[in-house]
Amino acid sequence: MQSRYQIVIDVFGNDNGPDVAIKGANLILSNFPHVNVILIGDQDVISNKMKELGADENRYTIIDTKEEITNLDNIVEAFYKKENASILLGLKELKENENTIGMLTAGNSGALVMGSIKYLRTDDLKRPCVAAILPTEDGKFVCLVDVGATIDCSSHQLHDFALLGSDFMRHLFQIDSPRIGLLSNGSEETKGNKLTKETYPLLKEDERLNFVGNIEGNKALSGCCDVLVADGFSANQVLKVTEGTAKRIITDIVKYIKMNKREDMMPLVGHLMKTYDISSLGGGIVLGAKKISIKCRGSCNEEAFLNTGRMLINIAENRAMYDK
């Protein structure tokens, strides 16, 4: 008999308002009969929209709050002054409700990590990080950590991120010994900034890690490593430049097709859009917490919530959690 899961969904944080997350929640209910959802946000807004969508009232509950931590807030200040913010209430629900498998949110990344530390920190006290799973040229995937939750990192934090990413890829993709790379401006051991040079020996000397050395940005998606480690600023730039470049190339191909009337090339466009659509690959996964949270982009649509919900269910069904 298939297990019944509960997913927490923070409806705030999306650039286009709470309707996106609410519609995404309804898509999850429609596609996964064994899943219920807990929606956190303005009760009246959520209730009216779910009724409009025809959602089964027996499969969702609402935790009412009007409070939100926005990207304009000072995270540390908001963390203490907005205790009823939706993203924090969601993490609290994960802690207290044993039937929940994880949370989806388009909210503030910093608040998500700080809340994970408060409510869901693991016994080994590793700092949580946010991982993105990206396609590689050999048809596989690379786990990029950290993609923006911790902008200024220490070498010991990057070491923790490497361990978390390695454990996650080993469980989710069944890789016996994930190859760990360190993002740098050159492949040589002597290359990199102060942080990179301090981190290199920590990764190299840890026998738990299959460290393959420095990886330059142009090799990020080459398939030469399974986990690519960087501080939140650098990895976030890799993520956004990769997405921006892919969109630019696809746009240029479409223009070429229209100018030259090469409709026979449209399947190529479809393939590229599917491969490099970050939303279709799922959001940023918080590693280093007792339960999984997935961070959707602020500009995402309801399909992204469906895709991240699918990822969360897959993780739960395969028990693909990192080592505790």
Query: Among the CATH numbers 3.40.718.10, 3.40.50.2300, 2.30.33.40, 3.40.50.300, which is that of 128-283?
Result: 3.40.718.10
Question: Which contacts qualify for 246-249: CB closer than 8 Å, 24 or more apart?
Answer: 246/272, 246/276, 247/276
CATH dotted code for 1-121+289-324: 3.40.718.10
Overall size of the chain counted in residues: 324
Over residues 139-180, the pLDDT tens digits come to 899 999 999 888 899 999 999 999 999 999 998 888 999 999
The whole-number pLDDT of residue 282 equals 59
Q: Where in the chain is the domain with CATH 3.40.718.10?
A: 1-121+289-324, 128-283
pLDDT at 269 over 90: no
Over residues 185-203, the pLDDT tens digits come to 999 999 999 999 999 999 9
The whole-number pLDDT of residue 244 equals 85
Question: In terms of Cα–Cα distance, which of 51, 58, 158, 148 is closest to 109?
Answer: 148
* Contact in structure between 205 and 174 (CB atoms under 8 Å): no
User: Helix 266-276 crosses helix 232-260 at what angle (to 10 degrees)?
Assistant: 170
* Average pLDDT, integer, range 78-106: 95
The whole-number pLDDT of residue 321 equals 56
Better pLDDT: 273 or 240:
240
Question: Following CA atoms 120, 124, 129, 134 in sequence, which dihedral angle do they give, to the nearest 10 degrees?
Answer: -110
Number of H helices, E strands in the chain: 10, 11
Which residues are paired to 134 by β-bridges?
142
The whole-angstrom distance between residue 146's C-alpha and the CA centroid of its chain comes to: 10
